[in-house]
């Protein structure tokens, strides 16, 4: 994975920080560092008599970090998802014969998505049936999508 070299003026300060945080927190060194902190904390237990304060330090620290990381990682995930949808939309738009009605599927209701899913499941079932009978599954069947 390459380093996240964002430009705050282009992407926004929060987006830049969120991306860098998600990148570095997913790095093996971050895991090793977190593990080392826990080991050191555990080893200092006898020194502090396993006191309530000693326990509170790690509990509070991990809770705060987890709370903040949820929002940073979700922000990064949202941005990546939006970018992926745009890329897929462009592939659909540029592919001759593709159904452009599929461009904004994420905006449809669950009922509408289920109807479209059933049509494609039917196509898959027909293809498997053809293959079991020695046929080919590489054709491009017509799909009738209700708009």
Q: 52-74, pLDDT tens digit by residue?
A: 999 999 999 999 999 999 998 89
pLDDT value for 23: 87
Distances in Å between the Cα of 27 and the Cα atoms of 44, 64, 115 are 26, 20, 41
DSSP string, the chain: -------HHHH-HHHHHHHHHHHHHTSHHHHHHHHHHHHHHHHTTTTTTT-HHHHHHHHHHHHHHHHHHHHHHHHHHHHHHHHHHHHHHHHHHHSTT--GGGTTGGGS-HHHHHHHHHHHHHHHHHHHHHHHTT----S--------
Full-model pTM? 0.65
| C-alpha angle 110-107-118 in degrees, rounded to nearest 5 | 40
pLDDT value for 147: 55
Q: How many C-beta atoms surround the C-beta of residue 1 within 10 A?
A: 6
pLDDT value for 2: 46
pLDDT value for 4: 59
pLDDT digits (tens, 9 = 90+) for 116-142: 999 999 989 999 999 999 988 787 877
Question: Which residues, 6+ apart, have CB-to-CB distance to 56 below 8 Å?
Answer: none
Would you list the domain boundaries of the chain? Answer: 8-98, 108-138
């Amino acid at each position: 994975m390459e380093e996240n070299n964002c430009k705050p003026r282009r992407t926004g300060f929060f987006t830049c920080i969120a991306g860098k945080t998600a990148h570095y927190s997913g790095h093996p060194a971050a895991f090793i560092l977190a593990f080392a902190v826990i080991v050191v904390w555990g080893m200092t237990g006898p020194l502090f008599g396993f006191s309530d304060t000693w326990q509170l330090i790690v509990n509070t620290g991990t809770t705060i970090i987890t709370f903040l990381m949820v929002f940073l990682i979700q922000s990064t995930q949202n941005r990546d998802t939006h970018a992926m949808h745009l890329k897929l939309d462009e592939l659909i738009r540029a592919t001759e014969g593709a159904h452009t009605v599929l461009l904004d599927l994420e905006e449809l209701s669950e009922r509408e998505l289920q109807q479209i899913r059933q049509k494609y499941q039917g196509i898959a079932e027909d293809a498997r049936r053809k293959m079991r009978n020695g046929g080919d599954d590489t054709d491009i069947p017509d799909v009738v999508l209700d708009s």
